[in-house]
Amino acid sequence: MFIIGLLGLCLIALTWLLINQYKNDTAKKISTPKKQTETYSIELPKRQLIIDEELQTSKVNTAPIAQKIKSEKVFKPAAITPRTPQTEHSKPIKPLTEIKSEFPINKAPKPVPATAKISQEPVLKTDRQQAKSSGQTERKKTVDLKKLIELTFQQAQQHGNLTLKQEKLQQVLKLDNKHLPARLLLVETLKQQGLSQQSTYILDQGLKLFPTQHHLIQLRSQLYLQNNQSQQAIELLQKITNRKHHSESYLALLAAAYQQNQQYTDAQLLYQQLVRLRPQQAQYWLGLGLAHDNQGHEHAAVNAYQQALNKNTLQTAVVSYIKQRLSILK
């Protein structure tokens, strides 16, 4: 019995020893760090490699060494990447999130909202451009036509031949019937050729376009007086109401029209005004003498006739008439 009890105690002690040995072995395995078998691309400082070797090969207490490393502030990378073989043609591999497609991806166009209004501005702009281009073309044609008209008119002015001058002036009026200088020059050219009917027609057409044009009115009044149509001449001359156009030639025409129409008082007043303007003009003194003579103003008529003779510019027939009237009045 004693032996059996002793064996039991030994078995218990052995079991206890085995359990403690198992605990110690387990604790050693947990506390001892596993050796690293992988290689890394980063090159640690020399001091760091020595310390790592000591940690792996010795069983000394690592706490003082770790504290020393912290105090020296040894650089420790934030992340360690595996080493990859490098060649002269190789490039570092980018993370997957940074890789972008080398080929552009066609994106589908955004749909236009149903409520969106399509702008008509490009169409309107095109219309404006067309209108501007058309306007420029018309202006160019107008400029070219004006140049042609002025060139033809200048050629007419330079012509000494009345017939060729007449043709050129008629061409100008066909291109522009409102060309007033060409119309006036054409009337004078026709009068020089004795073509009174044609000149009358040209003047009448001009007065339809310019009813109050004083040059046209005076020329037409002269033709009226040549045809003894003094009343028509007076009515036409009286249309010139602007006094700035009451020139010497206008006053002379109107005075002659009054004289021919036997309105001697009106004629006298105008001739008195004319002799004040041009005292050397014998025709005005003659007109004044006739106005006084027809009113019975003998003394005033003799004075006016004598002034006309003294100018020595009158025709022989007129001088003979004045001398006859002086002999009667005296």
Could you give phi then psi for residue 40, rounded to 5 degrees?
-120, 155
The mean pLDDT of 284-310, rounded to a whole number, is: 96
pLDDT band at 36 (very low <50, low <70, confident <90, very high): very low
Q: What pLDDT is recorded for position 56?
A: 53
Tell me, yes or no, if the pTM score tops 0.85. no
- Statement: residue 308 has pLDDT above 90: yes
Which one has a higher pLDDT value, 208 or 114?
208
- Statement: residue 301 has pLDDT above 50: yes
Chain segment 91-120, per-residue pLDDT in tens: 555 554 554 444 454 555 555 555 545 455
Residue with tokens 């890789």: 99
- Phi-psi bin for 296: left (phi > 0), alpha (psi -120 to 50), beta? left
Q: What pLDDT is recorded for position 50?
A: 46
pLDDT band at 241 (very low <50, low <70, confident <90, very high): confident
Domains and CATH numbers, the chain: 263-330 (1.25.40.10)
* DSSP code per residue over 177-230: TT-HHHHHHHHHHHHHTT-HHHHHHHHHHHHHH-TT-HHHHHHHHHHHHHTT-H
Chain segment 175-186, per-residue pLDDT in tens: 999 999 999 999
The mean pLDDT of 147-164, rounded to a whole number, is: 90
* C-alpha distances out from residue 21 to 9, 25, 270, Å: 18, 6, 161
Alpha carbon distance 27, 19 (integer Å): 12
Spell out the alpha helix ranges (H) of 238-311.
248-260, 264-277, 282-294, 298-310
Chain segment 248-260, per-residue pLDDT in tens: 999 999 999 999 9
Hey, what are 167's tokens?
Answer: 């043709």
